Structure 1
Amino acid sequence: MAATCDLPPAHTLYTPRQRWGFLAILFLVSTSSYMDRQIITIVLEPIKDEFRVSDARLGLLTGFSFAIFYATLGLPVARLADRANRRVIIGVALTVWSTFTVLCGFAQGFWQLAAARIGVGAGESGAIPPSQSLVADYFPPEQRGRALGLLMMSAMAGYLVAFVGGSQVAAAYGWRAAFIFVGVPGLALALLVFLGLSEPRTLPGRAVPRRGGESIADSWRALRAKPGFTNLSAAMILYFFVSYGAVMFFPSFMMRVYGEELARVGLVFGAMSAVASVAGSILGGWAVDRLCARDRRWMCWLPGALLLATAPLQIIALLMPSFLAFVLVCFPPSLAIAALTPSLFTHLHAICGSPRRAASVAFMFFFANLIGLGIGPIVAGALSDHFTALQGPSGIRWSLVIVVLLFLPAGGLMLRAARSLETDIEP
């Protein structure tokens, strides 16, 4: 078995055409994941009206009910992904979360919907760690920033389908139809995963032993010893707290404060977000590869600077007096958020070490999701309930302003991570 250590890197086994083909499939999988996760955002208002629940309870629906198993199951799934067939893990996970998304459309009460969301979160725990682990194997280090940047574009692709397509379906046929609209395609996509992806470990002589190797506890100790991983994880917690705590309520904000209809919010804001995400992901992936060729600390400096710039820009947007002004001013911070994401994961894969790629993603997402995604929407919803009681529908604005301020310490943490980068890096 030791001879396998002398084999060439996995990425040399594939042609460029094969690599980009595999990335295209993983892009579709990730798009389905974000699409099924984000559809709840656009239909919060009709759900609130039908079930007569508070914003804090909506935060529980969008956050903790999804995050509880999404975060906790991510660790054993990542452990499995560092040893077993990642193609199978992704295919099974995709089938599970797509099925539960469809079941969301049949919920007849708030708690039924919450239970189905728990199932979606449990399934999606098998999406990101094995996918990023495969990308790191498919592509050489000098191309990973661009590959991860393109993979991260799937977040906005899913967001766009959920926002634009889901809003139109919900407006025409009701919010339940929107869940079915985004869930059913995932069941067909699972077949493409099983037939179209390659697992390097299944090739002759490259099988990874299912026993032995680094334990999950050893992986955690190795990662925790790296200051860069600690700073990155803390920054991601705050980043998720804003991304899911505040941004989840943006559609509700636009409908309540500006009086816009669901279909128009989905079309206009969704289109803006899509353009910003595509441009930002491409530019961010290209920029981090180019800048790191000069100084590798740019994988920390770039996201740190963008996070610090995003907070004031996003607050200015929230204070705009009209819907169209809000959408226009939201473009620069949306562009920055998309551009910084490839750097975060480039940094993670640079310092984690090859034996624990999937585990490092799962550890980081465990804390980021459990705290940021799980608690962020509840806090934002509770603040919205408080300010709404004092100021009426416009109170949600001040809830979002407060939460967005957390981008500032997140930026500081990323700048701090640059100090230890050279000692943290592990091939």
Structure 2
Amino acid sequence: MKETRGDSALGRAYVLFILVLVYTFNFIDRQIVGILAVPIKAELALNDTQLSLMGGLAFALFYTFLGIPIAWLADRSNRVWIMTIALSVWSAMTALCGLSQNFIQLFLARLGVGIGEAGGVAPAYSLIADYFPPHQRARALSVYSFGIPIGSAMGIVLGGVLTTHLGWRAAFILVGLMGLAIAPLFRLTLAEPPRGRFDAPGTSLAPAPFAAVLRTLARKPSFWLMSLGGACSSMMGYGLIFWLPSFFVRSFGAELPGFFAWLPRFLLPQEPPALLYASYFYGAILLIGGVIGIWSGGALADYFGRARRGAYAMIPALAFLASLPFFVAGVLAPSLGVAFIAFLAIQALSLV
């Protein structure tokens, strides 16, 4: 199988396609647990605290702390191999989630998913920088970002469909195996590009010492403010995506079938459970809201950023604040329609 080096427009299109595909599976495996929480809780007799530890802490613990050393490694090693190994690890650990017999085993498997996914993003950004010249880079990064709503929506919908027909264990195993199938394709068809090939002549390609990078960042208030904003946004986003499927089932289980009365019958089994309806409902919110948010955020940043560079940070900050009243409206929604509009707005604003 021939490696793609991205020397042509078609080659770069393939590079972007395979990177988006991997990023999509990054979010499928990350978010599928949200829709599976209901059957997992029932079968393993877990309480909500255990669910939150399994869905939140288990994933975030190593995902957070391993991101920096893996980014350091990506500056010095073969990025295609790093992403191949990362994809293989998080896919295998996702499949192992389906074999878990108790809370501890499931917690450890989700820990492994976080370890693998820590190596999935930083090398991809670096590869995009070396595959796409500066005038194409922003567009490539925006296309890459669509892996977030696509993967999140697919994780929720696939989880609901597979669980309805095969059970939650099969859902974990099948999506994990799909990721493992992509890993050799990724490695065999994507070449490691020359590092810094689009940099200005005379630019040093030697990576800066880690301590020097830390000292530089420590002196930048903007770095800490951006990090705080990103942390708050992630806390809200991941909390919502884990708990909202359960919230919809518990609060609007009786209304969900009527909301999807227009669906063709082949998309629904004989007596579809509320979980399947919730997966369609929330999957639509994630996909539609995510696409709107990413597209509008890029357009707004480009428009206002030309006059003031601070707009690149101010626009998502204002969008984050604007989501607060919609959050209150969604949680207190008297009907499923109101909840849909409120959480659609939240999803769009969170990705601006």
Alignment match of 1:267 (pick from 280, 304, 307): 280
Deviates further, 324-333 or 224-233? 324-333
Q: Judging changes above 3 Å, is the alpha-carbon distance between structure 1 residues 212 and 26 closer, same or farther for their aligned structure 2 residues?
A: closer
Greater helix percent: which structure? Answer: 1
CA deviations over 1:365-398 (Å, ceiling 9, x no partner): xxxxxxxxxxxxxxxxxxxxxxxxxxxxxxxxxx
Query: What does 1:10-409 correspond to in 2, within 5 Å?
Result: 14-201=7-194, 213-259=207-253, 260=256, 261-338=274-351, 340=352
Distance in 1 (alpha carbons) for counterparts of 2:221 and 2:133? 25
- Output the CA distance in 2 between the equivalents of 1:73 and 1:30: 18
Give the conservation status (yes or no) of the 8 Å contact 1:164–1:270.
Answer: yes
Cα drift, residue 215 of structure 1: 1.9
Shift of 1:201: 2.9
Please give the alpha-carbon distance, in whole angstroms, between the structure 1 residues aligned to 2:125 and 2:322: 27
Change (3 A) 1:147 1:155: same
1:325 Cα deviation after fit: 2.4
Shift of 1:241: 1.3
Highest RCO, 1 vs 2 (Cα 8 Å, sep ≥ 6): 1
Aligned partner of residue 321 in structure 1, secondary structure: coil
Between 293-302 and 112-121, report the one with greater CA deviation: 293-302
Q: Normalising by structure 2, report the TM-score.
A: 0.86
Shift >4 Å, 4+ stretches? none
**Aligned residues between the structures:** 323
Given that 2:74 and 2:123 are in contact with CA atoms closer than 8 Å, whether structure 1 keeps it comes out as: yes
Q: Secondary structure at the match of 1:200?
A: coil
SS at match of 1:63: helix
Structure 1: runs of 5+ lacking an equivalent: 1-12, 341-427
- Please identify, of 117-126 and 238-247, the stretch whose mean Cα deviation from structure 2 is larger: 238-247
Question: What is the RMSD computed on CA atoms of the aligned residues?
Answer: 2.2
Structure 1 residue 212, shift from structure 2 partner = 6.8
CA positional deviation for 1:327: 1.2
Contact 1:142/1:289 (8 A) holds in 2: no
Q: CA deviation at 1:247?
A: 3.2
Q: Per-residue deviation at 1:44?
A: 0.6
One-letter code of the match for 2:10? R
